[in-house]
Amino acid sequence: MTSVPASSKNTIETVSRRFDNVLSVISLLQYGKHIFLSSIGIYPHIEGRIDEDFNDQETLNPLLFLAEEKMTSLSQTIVFRLGGLFGKNRIFAKYFAGKICTTGEQPANFVHLQDVIQLVFLAFAMDFEHRLFNIVCPEHPSKKEVIVASAAKYGYELPTSFEPEQTTQKIVSSDRVIQTLEYTFLYPSPLNF
């Protein structure tokens, strides 16, 4: 399994060199299956539902797309595009306590760490045809609802206000991973994190 960031702080040249180095190391190894952890941040901010068949390459994040292309040049590579990852000390309300939230109206395309771990184990244990999966909860409450729920659960202060500036209603679908791996999410909704 490989988890190497293709951060927006880096140039395309830096990301290219980074993944060329990763490729040169992994190509020396013997393995039966390889999972690359990517991000749903690859998708553009558009309205509506997005699944793995979305292929408008001109609108995909170029750094993440480059990283995925390089990693999938390795044999037996499966790409997991992870939603916003939470669990353990990653609590959504913590990041907005006492601040203004401008994204509260957006759907939450999140996933719990425990679900990611379970899906990695399943992917290594099973044989299947698909090589690209979105890993997000099947339920998409608003980010505001998730903030309120996690603030109440963990004792964080609420944002000072919710002022919607970014209201794109993008929902990333996890239907493929649910059907292919016959998976039932431990945390089907970010409201339960």
The answer, yes or no, to whether residue 9 has pLDDT greater than 90, is no
State what percent of residues in the chain have pLDDT above 90: 87
- Residue 90: CB partners within 8 Å, gap ≥ 6? 113
CA distance 191 to 131: 29
Mean pLDDT of 22-26: 93
Dihedral angle at the C-alpha atoms of 192, 41, 16, 132, nearest 10 degrees? 70
Q: What are the tens digits of pLDDT across the range 35-53?
A: 999 999 999 999 999 999 9
Which tokens go with 152?
A: 């109440």
The answer, yes or no, to whether residue 103 has pLDDT greater than 90, is yes
At 165 the pLDDT is 86
CA distance 1 to 135: 15
The answer, yes or no, to whether residue 105 has pLDDT greater than 80, is yes
Which tokens go with 156?
A: 């964080």
The residue that leads in pLDDT, 8 or 142, is 142
Q: What are the tens digits of pLDDT across the range 152-171?
A: 999 999 999 999 887 889 99
Report the length, in residues, of the chain: 193
Q: What are the tens digits of pLDDT across the range 126-155?
A: 999 899 999 999 999 999 999 999 999 999
The answer, yes or no, to whether residue 119 has pLDDT greater than 80, is yes
At 164 the pLDDT is 86
At 5 the pLDDT is 83
pLDDT band, residue 8 (cuts 50/70/90): confident
CA distance 69 to 151: 39
Phi/psi at 35 (nearest 5 deg)?
-110, 130
Single pTM value for the model: 0.93
At 154 the pLDDT is 96
At 127 the pLDDT is 92
CA distance 9 to 77: 26
Mean pLDDT of 66-85: 95
CA distance 42 to 40: 5
- Please report how the helices 62-72 and 12-26 are oriented relative to each other, as an axis angle in degrees rounded to 10: 20
At 10 the pLDDT is 86
Average pLDDT across the chain, whole number: 95
User: Mind giving me the DSSP string for 42-87?
Assistant: GS-S-SEEE-TT---GGGS-HHHHHHHHHHHTSTTEEEEEE-EEEB
CA distance 175 to 185: 11
